[in-house]
């Protein structure tokens, strides 16, 4: 029987109007927003919501970079639920490049990567985005993603707003290494540092929208 003693929310809350990719919401009475018979109740509301798909804690499907790739509705549910290993990159020095050897060493400290794992990459730079040192965060190389895929991971997440860093040679190097192998990834994973152990059970569930490449999702970890 599955048991746990603690749940950790790994999702950034979305605040309408805040950030350089703002979410906007417009409230109205239900009959103003959609076709609906007026209801005699003082607070019967709906919202119009406008946003881009890459905002907050969001998952990116292979369709983001490959026209024949899976969209959000096509990702198997089994790929979004399971054991996750937290790979701690936060002890790496500034301006590090993370290749296969560096990722293997980090994985060994976490007890190893198992086939079928979700891999979360903790850099410790998530709260430094407005600071100069953010430009000196670890930069992932495509070969580090090759290492994870060859180890058998089914989903990757990072606490940063992107997989690539300032010293990654190409803007999409890590994107292509994962999405080209049908492995989606999640950006802006929150609260990884709040996890007390390197291995947890995770549910990372986006809304299965057909024809969409990315969208915010809710992630929870069970310790």
The residue extents of the domains of the chain are 13-50, 58-222
At 130 the pLDDT is 86
- Which run of H or of E encompasses 97? strand 97-98
Distance CA(199)–CA(10), nearest Å, equals 14
pLDDT tens figures, 132-144: 999 999 999 999 9
At 129 the pLDDT is 86
pLDDT tens figures, 45-56: 999 999 999 999
Q: Are 220 and 80 in contact (CB under 8 A)?
A: no
At 143 the pLDDT is 98
Q: Are 16 and 50 in contact (CB under 8 A)?
A: no
Q: How confident is the model at residue 19 (pLDDT cuts 50, 70, 90)?
A: confident
Domain 58-222: give its CATH code.
Answer: 3.50.30.50
Alpha-carbon dihedral 126, 129, 130, 131, rounded to 10 degrees: 90
Q: How confident is the model at residue 1 (pLDDT cuts 50, 70, 90)?
A: low
Q: Which residue has the tokens 């749940």?
A: 7
């Amino acid at each position: 029987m599955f048991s746990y003693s603690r749940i950790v929310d790994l999702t950034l809350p979305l605040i309408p109007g805040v950030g350089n990719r703002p979410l906007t919401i417009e409230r109205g009475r239900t009959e103003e927003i959609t076709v609906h018979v007026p209801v005699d109740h003082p607070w019967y509301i709906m919202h119009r919501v406008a946003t881009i798909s890459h905002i907050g804690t969001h998952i990116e499907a292979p369709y983001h970079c490959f026209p024949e790739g899976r969209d959000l509705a096509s990702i198997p549910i089994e790929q979004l639920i399971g054991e996750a290993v937290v790979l701690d990159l936060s002890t790496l020095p500034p301006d590090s490049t993370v290749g296969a050897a560096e990722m293997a060493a980090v994985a060994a400290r976490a007890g190893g990567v198992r086939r079928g794992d979700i891999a979360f990459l903790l850099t410790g730079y998530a709260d430094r985005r407005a600071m100069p040192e953010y430009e000196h965060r670890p930069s992932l190389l495509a070969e580090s993603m090759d290492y994870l895929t060859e180890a058998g991971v089914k989903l990757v997440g990072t606490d940063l707003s992107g997989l690539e860093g300032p010293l990654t040679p190409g803007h999409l190097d890590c994107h292509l290494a994962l999405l080209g192998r049908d492995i989606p990834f999640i950006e802006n994973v929150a609260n990884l540092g709040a996890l007390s152990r390197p291995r947890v059970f995770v549910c990372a569930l986006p809304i299965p929208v057909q024809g969409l490449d990315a969208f915010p999702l809710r992630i929870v970890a069970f310790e």
